[in-house]
């Protein structure tokens, strides 16, 4: 597969329209709906929000690195599960056969090789709902904050399963911002999860660019690229599937939140 590596090196992202076949988008959405239908949250709903570090103490969150966990929107109190979830994560690609098949198709393997992952490992998968009206914002961050390797290798494949635009919370990026340093690190510590500041440097003074993405578009995100997404205040959903890969040649930090003691990481085979 050929991609514009000059653009990727310059900008820290690539927007690949019509990457995932419509049938695969359909299959992921249908399977997610089945998983939701089969999910009984019981009395304790687990709220996940990147702005609320309260989740950091939550064993459910930590265990989801090797499981299929369900996370609610903050603003969804009392709403039915089907319209209240923020995401499903983080090992769908290893534990669910539909997500496994689509995540490990040859087009994705080819893309991973094309962007320089020599020993790609599929580390994390998330089905992101960004529900109509209540889908929360995701603040500016670098994915290497959460998935840290030495050297940095985490690479995001973000796939629009609905048309994503400014009104329903499409991705926002700071082009070229991946050439800066890693600012923060989220890690396990004795007392729980902590967010360390590694570098106080503010984000570069670059005008954010909205990556409007029709269904089936795949966005490659460099692990150091600052990105965000606004809340969804529209009446339309903005489902997306995000897969994060690392290079097996890099050292995976033992204090990353995501640990897989019982489920070895796999590549594309």
Residues that bind Fe ion in the complex, under the rule CB under 5 A:
143
Judged by beta carbon, residue 58 or residue 143, the one nearer Fe ion is 143
Nearer CB in complex with Fe ion: 11/143: 143
What minimum distance in Å lies between the beta carbon of 97 and Fe ion? 26
The residue among 66 and 156 lying less far from Fe ion, judged by its C-beta, is 156
Q: How far is the CB of 41 from Fe ion (least distance, A)?
A: 25
Q: Please state the closest distance from residue 141 (CB atom) to Fe ion, in A.
A: 6
**Cα separation of 48 and 136, whole Å?**
10
75: Cβ–Cβ under 8 A, 6 or more apart, which residues? 134, 136
- Distance of closest approach, residue 25 Cβ to Fe ion, in angstroms: 20
CB nearer to Fe ion: pick between 117 and 224: 224
Q: 134 vs 219, which CB is nearer to Fe ion? A: 219
Residue nearest to Fe ion (CB): 143
Least distance from Fe ion to the Cβ atom of residue 30, Å: 25
Structure tokens, 32: 């997610």
């Amino acid at each position: 597969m050929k991609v514009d590596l000059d653009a990727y090196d310059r900008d820290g992202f690539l927007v690949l329209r019509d990457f995932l076949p419509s049938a695969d988008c359909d299959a992921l959405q249908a399977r997610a709906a089945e998983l939701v239908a089969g999910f009984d949250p019981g009395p304790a709903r687990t709220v996940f929000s990147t702005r609320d570090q309260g989740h950091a103490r939550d064993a459910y969150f930590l265990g989801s690195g090797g499981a299929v966990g369900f996370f609610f929107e903050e603003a969804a109190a009392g709403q039915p599960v089907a319209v209240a979830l923020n995401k499903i994560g983080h090992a769908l690609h290893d534990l669910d056969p539909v997500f496994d098949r689509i995540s490990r198709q040859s087009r994705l393997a080819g893309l991973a090789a094309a962007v320089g992952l020599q020993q790609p490992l599929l580390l994390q998968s998330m089905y992101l709902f960004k529900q109509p009206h209540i889908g929360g914002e995701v603040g500016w961050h670098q994915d290497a904050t959460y998935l840290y390797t030495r050297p940095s290798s985490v690479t995001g494949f973000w796939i629009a399963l609905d048309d994503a635009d400014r009104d329903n919370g499409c991705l926002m990026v700071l082009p070229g911002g991946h050439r800066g340093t890693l600012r923060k690190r989220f890690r396990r510590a004795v007392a729980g999860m902590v967010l360390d500041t590694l570098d106080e440097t503010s984000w570069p003074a670059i005008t954010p660019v909205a990556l409007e993405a029709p269904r089936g578009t795949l966005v490659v995100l460099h692990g150091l690229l600052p990105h965000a997404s606004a809340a969804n205040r529209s009446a339309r959903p903005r489902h997306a599937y995000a897969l994060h890969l690392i290079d097996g040649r890099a050292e995976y930090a033992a204090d990353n939140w995501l640990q897989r003691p019982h489920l070895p990481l796999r590549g594309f085979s």
